[in-house]
Amino acid sequence: GAGVSQSPRYKVAKRGQDVALRCDPISGHVSLFWYQQALGQGPEFLTYFQNEAQLDKSGLPSDRFFAERPEGSVSTLKIQRTQQEDSAVYLCASSLGMASSGTQYFGPGTRLLVL
Amino acid sequence: QQQVKQSPQSLIVQKGGISIINCAYENTAFDYFPWYQQFPGKGPALLIAIRPDVSEKKEGRFTISFNKSAKQFSLHIMDSQPGDSATYFCAASKKGGGNKLTFGTGTQLKVEL
């Protein structure tokens, strides 16, 4: 079946613009995660959803970052008033259940460049 | 505070050789330790994972060795192939609150002919 998809794959924004990044998880997956991956670094956790409930947003770097998953499937990560330090690859991952050992399946990411 | 430390940052291995990547963690609440493989332009993909109740897990050419007392774990790639050239990340997660992953900084592996 289809894996995790993300759109757009690339986004160039001018500093101060708002952006919205979309994630389509694997159908039926309960858990959804957003990670930020800076160039040459490992992914860093941003936020976690269990169905439509956002259970952990401890990794969001500022109140300019907002994520939602209103119907428990598709998720959107929104960044308001983008800054140059927001430039990174934003990865979405989903897993079937909620166990700590559940395999996370990652999408290809959205590469955001803020000029 | 970096909770999962990974080394080396880069590694060059000859075809057929053994690639070894090491990770150390600090948080004793971690109870799941996966390794992910990432190719350029792609998302990370699970390679192999281990729980702390075993000291070793092998899947094909890939083996995880786990030392709970030292809070260290490592990935061994036997008979390394050019197609293994990628970036490898160790990670860890803990019980409760879903399974958010804390990643290491990555090891860029190149397997030469």
Residue among A4, A63, A87, A28 at smallest CA distance from B44? A4
Rounded CA-CA distance A80/A65 in Å is: 7
Rounded CA-CA distance B97/A50 in Å is: 9
- pLDDT band, residue B97 (cuts 50/70/90): low
Q: Is residue A21 part of a domain?
A: yes
Nearest CA to CA, how far is A52 from chain B (Å)?
14
- pLDDT band, residue B22 (cuts 50/70/90): very high
User: pLDDT tens digit string along A100-109?
Assistant: 667 899 999 9
User: Token pair for residue B106?
Assistant: 């990555």
User: pLDDT tens digit string along A29-88?
Assistant: 999 999 999 999 999 999 999 999 999 999 999 999 999 999 999 999 999 999 999 999
Q: Is residue A113 part of a domain?
A: no
- Assigned superfamily of B4-112: Immunoglobulins (2.60.40.10)
Give percent of chain B with pLDDT exceeding 70: 96
Q: Is residue A27 part of a domain?
A: yes
- For A31, the domain range is 16-95
Q: In what order do the strands lie in the sheet with B72-77?
A: B4-7, B19-25, B72-77, B62-67, B56-59
User: pLDDT tens digit string along B44-90?
Assistant: 999 999 998 999 999 999 999 999 999 999 999 999 999 999 999 99
- For residue B94, the model assigns a pLDDT of 85
Angle CA A106–A34–B65, to nearest 5: 55
In this predicted structure, the answer to whether residue A93 has a pLDDT above a threshold of 90 is: yes
Q: Is residue A50 part of a domain?
A: yes
Q: Is residue A107 part of a domain?
A: no
- Count how many pairs of residues, chain A against chain B, have C-beta atoms within 8 Å: 73
Q: Residue A67 belongs to a domain with what CATH number?
A: 2.60.40.10
- For residue B99, the model assigns a pLDDT of 78
Q: Is B27 on the interface with A (CB under 8 A)?
A: no
- For residue A103, the model assigns a pLDDT of 87
Of the given ranges (A1-5, A71-75, B6-10), which has the lowest mean pLDDT? A1-5
- For residue B103, the model assigns a pLDDT of 96
Nearest CA to CA, how far is B65 from chain A (Å)?
17
Rounded CA-CA distance A39/A5 in Å is: 21
Query: In chain A, how many domains are there?
Result: 1
Nearest CA to CA, how far is B72 from chain A (Å)?
18
Put simply, the answer to whether A45 touches B101 (Cβ < 8 Å) is yes
